[in-house]
C-alpha cells in the first residue's frame, strides 16, 4: 500500500519523489525556495490585497513597522503559506509537527516570518475527543474550553454565539496535573468572542514560549479570509467583483463545471457542500444554494443577492464565511502564493484550479484569458507540507513545558536529520483515508490532476 501511495503522490507532485531518501530539512527548504509566480494585473491586485491584510494583522498583533516591512519583503521573495493544520492550539501534535516542518524550511534561508492559515470552519470535536476543543496531556483528554458535549458537537469554532475562555478541564480523575497547570500559565486568562480568536491569541503566547524569537509568527483563519474577500468585492474594479461575481455568468459556469465531476472519482474530492459561502446561524454552519441570482439557505429564510456589494456586507457583518474554494482563490490562486497542505489538499486544490481554468475558458474575455495563462504557468502552487512528520511525541508539551525553546531545538535537529521517508512513517494521512485508498487503486495510466 505504501508503494502505491507514493507512486500516486509522485504523479500528483513529482518533486516529492526526489526527497524520500534525503533529509527532511532538504525537502522543507525546497518548498520555501525563492520563486516568482507569473503576474498580470489581476494577480498583482490580488497579491497587494493579501499583503495588505497580512500586514494589518501583523500590526494588530504588535509587530513593529520594520518587522511588518520584512514580512512584505519576504512574501515578495517567498510567497508561501502553511495551510495544513486546522485552527488548533499550537502544541496539538499534528499542528505542532507541521509548524516544526515549516520552520525547517524558513530557517534554511534565515528569513524572519512564518505565515499559517488555520481553517476555523471546523467543529470543536472533529472525531472522538479530537479537534480544536480537545487536547491530550499526560495521557488525559483535556476539554480545552470546558464545554459540555451539547455546546461543542454542533458548533463551529468560528461561531460567535458565546464568548469562550480556556478552562482546560481534565476528563477523568481530578488529581494533580502539572502539565495542565503549566499550560494554563501560558494561555490568556480573558475571554474571546469565539474559540478561534482565543486559539489565535493563545498561539502567540505558545509560539514565544516554544520557539522564542527565532521567527515572527502570524496565524490567520476564516474571519480574516472573510475580510480579505470582502475587500476584493468592495472594489468594483477587482476581478472577483467585476468578473467572477459580476454579470458575466461565471458563478453559474463554475457550478456547472463542478457538477460535471459528480459521477467521477474526483467528485468525491470536490463536493458541492455549499455554494461559495457558508451561512453562520447561532454558531452553526449552514449550506447556501445558488437559486437564480441569490444564495438561499435550506429554510428559505436567509437570502443574499449573489453580487459583490451584498456579499461584501454579509461577510463584514459575520453572517457568512467563504467556503474552501473562495478561501484558496483569494489566498493562493489569484495572488500566486504556494500553499503547503495535507493529504486531501494535494488532490482537491488542483481540482479547484482545473475548475477555475475551465470556467475562464467558458466565459472568455481578455482579462480571463490573461489570468488563465498566468495560472496555468504556476510551478508547484500546492505542495505536500502537512504531516510530513508523523508525530513522534503524542504530547509535545511534556517536553516543551520543561525545556521550552531548547526542547524545540532538540526536535528540530532530530526531525530535520531524518529522511522524508522515515519522518512521514506509514503516511497515516494517506493510508488511513478511504479516498486515498481508492485513488491508489486506480489504473496507473489514468490521468491525474
**In the prediction, which pLDDT does 410 show?**
95
Please give the residue that has the higher pLDDT: either 437 or 445.
Answer: 437
Q: According to the model, what pLDDT value does residue 384 have?
A: 98
- Within a domain: residue 178? yes
Average pLDDT for residues 7-19, to the nearest whole number? Answer: 94
The 8-class DSSP code of residue 127 comes to B
Tens digit of each residue's pLDDT (9 = 90 or more) over 94-139: 999 999 999 999 999 999 999 999 999 999 999 888 999 999 998 8
Cβ atoms within 10 Å, residue 185 = 11
Q: Is residue 314 part of a domain?
A: no
The verdict on residue 384 lying in a domain is yes
- pLDDT bracket for residue 444 (50, 70, 90): confident
Q: How confident is the model at residue 148 (pLDDT cuts 50, 70, 90)?
A: very high
How much is the pLDDT for 164? 98
Q: Is 204 domain-assigned?
A: yes
Least confident of 165-169, 392-396, 408-412: 392-396
> For residue 23, which of 106, 111, 101 has the smallest C-alpha distance?
101
348, part of any domain? yes
- Chain position carrying cell 459540555: 148
Q: How many domains does the chain have?
A: 1
Mean pLDDT, the chain, integer? 95
What's the pLDDT band for 174 if we cut at 50, 70, 90?
low
Give the Å distances, CA to CA, from 347 to 265, 266, 272, 343, 425: 11, 9, 16, 7, 20
Q: Is residue 219 part of a domain?
A: yes
- pTM higher than 0.85: yes
Name the residue range of residue 183's domain.
Answer: 1-229+328-441
Q: How confident is the model at residue 344 (pLDDT cuts 50, 70, 90)?
A: very high
Which of the four pLDDT bands, split at 50, 70 and 90, describes residue 446?
Answer: low
The predicted pLDDT at position 297 comes to 97
DSSP letters spanning 366-432? HHHHHHHHHHHT-SS-EEE-SSSS--S-S-THHHHHHHTHHHHHHHHHHHHHSBHHHHTTT-HHHHT
Q: For residue 271, tell me if it sits in a domain.
A: no
- 282 pLDDT band, cuts 50/70/90, is very high
To the nearest 10°, report the CA torsion of 325, 96, 387, 116. Answer: 30
For the stretch 213-241, pLDDT in tens is 989 999 999 999 999 999 999 999 999 99
Q: Say if 307 falls within a structural domain.
A: no
Amino acid at each position: 500500500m505504501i508503494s502505491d501511495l507514493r507512486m500516486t503522490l509522485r504523479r500528483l507532485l513529482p518533486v516529492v519523489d526526489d526527497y524520500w531518501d534525503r533529509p527532511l530539512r532538504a525537502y522543507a527548504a525546497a518548498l520555501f525556495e525563492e520563486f516568482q509566480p507569473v503576474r498580470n494585473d489581476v494577480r498583482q491586485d490580488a497579491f497587494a490585497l493579501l499583503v495588505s491584510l497580512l500586514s494589518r494583522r501583523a500590526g494588530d498583533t504588535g509587530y513593529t513597522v520594520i518587522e511588518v516591512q520584512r514580512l512584505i519583503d519576504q512574501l515578495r521573495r517567498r510567497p508561501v503559506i502553511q495551510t495544513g493544520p486546522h485552527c488548533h492550539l499550537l502544541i496539538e501534535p499534528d499542528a505542532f509537527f507541521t509548524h516544526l516542518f515549516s520552520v525547517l524550511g524558513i530557517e534554511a534561508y534565515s528569513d524572519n516570518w512564518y505565515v499559517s492559515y488555520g481553517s476555523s470552519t471546523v467543529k470543536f470535536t472533529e472525531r472522538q475527543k479530537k479537534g480544536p476543543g480537545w487536547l491530550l496531556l499526560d495521557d488525559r483528554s483535556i476539554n480545552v474550553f470546558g464545554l459540555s458535549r451539547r455546546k461543542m458537537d454542533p458548533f463551529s469554532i468560528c461561531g460567535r454565539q458565546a464568548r469562550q475562555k480556556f478552562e482546560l478541564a481534565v476528563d477523568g480523575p481530578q488529581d494533580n496535573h502539572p502539565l495542565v497547570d503549566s499550560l494554563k500559565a501560558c494561555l490568556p486568562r480573558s475571554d474571546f468572542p469565539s474559540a478561534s480568536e482565543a486559539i489565535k491569541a493563545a498561539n502567540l503566547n505558545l509560539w514565544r514560549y516554544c520557539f522564542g524569537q527565532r521567527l515572527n509568527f502570524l496565524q490567520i483563519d476564516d474571519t480574516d479570509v472573510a475580510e480579505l474577500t470582502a475587500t476584493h468585492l468592495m472594489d468594483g474594479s477587482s476581478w472577483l467583483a467585476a468578473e467572477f461575481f459580476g454579470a458575466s455568468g461565471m458563478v453559474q459556469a463554475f457550478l456547472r463545471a463542478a457538477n460535471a465531476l459528480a459521477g467521477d472519482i474526483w467528485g468525491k474530492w470536490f463536493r458541492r457542500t455549499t455554494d461559495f459561502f457558508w451561512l453562520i446561524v447561532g454558531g452553526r454552519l449552514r449550506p447556501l444554494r445558488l437559486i437564480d441570482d441569490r444564495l438561499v439557505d435550506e429554510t428559505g429564510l436567509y437570502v443574499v443577492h449573489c453580487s459583490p456589494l451584498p456579499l461584501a456586507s454579509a461577510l463584514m457583518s459575520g453572517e457568512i464565511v467563504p467556503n474552501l474554494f473562495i478561501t484558496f482563490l483569494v489566498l493562493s490562486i489569484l495572488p500566486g502564493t504556494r500553499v503547503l497542505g495535507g493529504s486531501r489538499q494535494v488532490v482537491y486544490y488542483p481540482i479547484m484550479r482545473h475548475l477555475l481554468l475551465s470556467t475562464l475558458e467558458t466565459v472568455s474575455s481578455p482579462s480571463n484569458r490573461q489570468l488563465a495563462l498566468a495560472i496555468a504557468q504556476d510551478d508547484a502552487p500546492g505542495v505536500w507540507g502537512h504531516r510530513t512528520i508523523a508525530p513522534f511525541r503524542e504530547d509535545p508539551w511534556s517536553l516543551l513545558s520543561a525545556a521550552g525553546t531548547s526542547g524545540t531545538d532538540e526536535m528540530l535537529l532530530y526531525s530535520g536529520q531524518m529522511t522524508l521517508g522515515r519522518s512521514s512513517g506509514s503516511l497515516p494521512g494517506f493510508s488511513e483515508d478511504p479516498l486515498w485508498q481508492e485513488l491508489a487503486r486506480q489504473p496507473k495510466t489514468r490521468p491525474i490532476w
